[in-house]
Amino acid sequence: MKGEILFKNANLVDGRGEHGRADVLIGEGRILSLSGGEAPRVIEAAGMILSPGFFDPHAHLREPGQEVKEDLTSGLTAAAKGGYTDLVSMPNTSPVVDNAEIVAALKKKAASIGQARLHPAAALTQGQEGKILSEARLLREAGAVMLTDDGRTNEDAGVLAQGLQYAASWGLLVSVHAEDASLRRGGVMNEGEVSFRLGLPGNTGFAESARIARDLEIVRYVESRGSQEAGQRSRVEGRNTQVEGQKQTLLHVQHLSTRRGLELIRQARAEGLPITTEVGPHHLTLTDQSLNSLNPIFKVAPPLRTQADLEALIEGLLDGSIDCIGTDHAPHTQDEKELDMLRAPFGIPSLEICWPLLYTALVVGHGFPLHTLIERFTDGPRRILGFPPIHLTEGAQASLVLWSPGQERPVVPQSFASRAKFSPWAGWALRGWPSVTLVEGRVVYEQGAVQI
């Protein structure tokens, strides 16, 4: 059998488990064979792991209007370098992504760039002002996979309820930044011992849990009106149509940061409510103790919490209460992040290091099962958005990442493909760096050290 690329002696791991060593032949955008064949390009993958490509459900690429921070080319290149084959971009740009024309333009430009695939999220409300719903049907037809006012909190419960119902009727997921603005106030870090000692305004963890509690009640209300059935009878066909037999997610809680928020989500899921959630790499590896340095590089929304919160989130990721990893990649200019704690913007860039960071911290450092972590990077986000899983079987789509579990090197922000050349993990020695990323059989990233 002839193909285009042959990965020899690769160790196969996907969200279902570890599948041993194989010679993986790639051609026609798919896996042709797991028992070798002929190809003009041969990659010796002994000691390396081949997995499905990662899928990020939450990243900020800043285009249109904020290209000085990031643009589609730099962001999608950074994603491919990080092992991501797919990415959902947030709509809090300038102008806001709230109409079909902008969605279609983003899709067209991303396709021409030819790096990781872009799946735009669109605003739930016009201008993300929380008042008038955007046109879900038109946005869906243009290629939007999610509706969200991320970057702002949805303060009007009635608008959110209507939005959930309307979005579900077109097979679209609604995701929310779950913080009560009146409790968050002007907090720049977690409210607690560190903020009190530093004299900085704090953002209480109860701002998150209070808003999650309210939003869960809204989901119960919408469910009682039959919106779930309407969502399952969606009249629109597309790649993010729900997988057959799978219940549609109604509400997705972004960047979970607190133990109490997780407890509420666990309880709701036990009741069968159609909700999902994600966690970011920073909330799994950093705490508010980092802010003792007064360095705004650690300033993020929601803020870094306590060690107890961090440990609870890891447990939630392990037991499946947390469905997936969302980077919340949030690039800014160096000048912005060098302002003081009160004026610097919230946000951390992480697309290029999320996988090695969590592989090192969780699998190497804490014995987290490898296939479970891969599932949270691959099947988890795809399931939430209604995309079919990618598993390492013959005939499967060849959107894959080859990575090294043994190669260790430090985080060097200056080498990032992203325009944001800063990182709270700068200098950390990490393993698991991606070496080759394929999108439908096409190489979109290749580390120079790989011998081909």
pLDDT tens digits for 195-237? 999 999 999 999 999 999 999 999 999 998 874 454 444 434 4
| Mutual angle of helices 206-224 and 259-270, in 10-degree steps | 20
pLDDT bucket at 190, cuts 50 / 70 / 90: very high
Q: What percent of the chain is predicted at pLDDT more than 70?
A: 94
In this predicted structure, what is the pLDDT of residue 229? 52
As given in the structure block, the two tokens for residue 202 are 């704090």
In this predicted structure, what is the pLDDT of residue 228? 42
Task: Please check the confidence at residue 335 and state whether its pLDDT lies above 60.
Answer: yes
Q: Which of 71, 98, 180, 328 is catalytic?
A: 328
In this predicted structure, what is the pLDDT of residue 239? 40
In this predicted structure, what is the pLDDT of residue 113? 98
| Contact assessment for residue 208 and residue 183, using Cβ atoms and an 8 Å cutoff | no
pLDDT bucket at 385, cuts 50 / 70 / 90: very high
In this predicted structure, what is the pLDDT of residue 248? 77
In this predicted structure, what is the pLDDT of residue 437? 98
> Is there a catalytic annotation at residue 335?
no
Average pLDDT of the residues of the chain: 94
In this predicted structure, what is the pLDDT of residue 449? 38
In this predicted structure, what is the pLDDT of residue 246? 53
Section 6-22 average pLDDT: 98
What domains can you pick out in the chain, each with its CATH number? Answer: 53-390 (3.20.20.140)
Higher pLDDT, 146 or 239: 146
pLDDT tens digits for 412-440? 999 999 999 999 999 999 999 999 999 99
In this predicted structure, what is the pLDDT of residue 227? 42
Sign of CA dihedral 20, 352, 100, 230: positive
Task: Please check the confidence at residue 242 and state whether its pLDDT lies above 60.
Answer: no
Please classify residue 427 by burial: count the beta carbons closer than 10 Å to its beta carbon, then call 0-12 exposed, 13-18 middle and 19+ buried.
Answer: exposed
Q: What percent of the chain is predicted at pLDDT more than 90?
A: 92
pLDDT bucket at 450, cuts 50 / 70 / 90: very low
pLDDT tens digits for 15-30? 999 999 999 999 999 9
Rg (CA), the chain: 21
Section 168-173 average pLDDT: 94
pLDDT bucket at 151, cuts 50 / 70 / 90: confident
Task: Please check the confidence at residue 243 and state whether its pLDDT lies above 80.
Answer: no
pLDDT bucket at 332, cuts 50 / 70 / 90: very high
Alpha carbon 161 to its chain centroid, in Å, reads 24
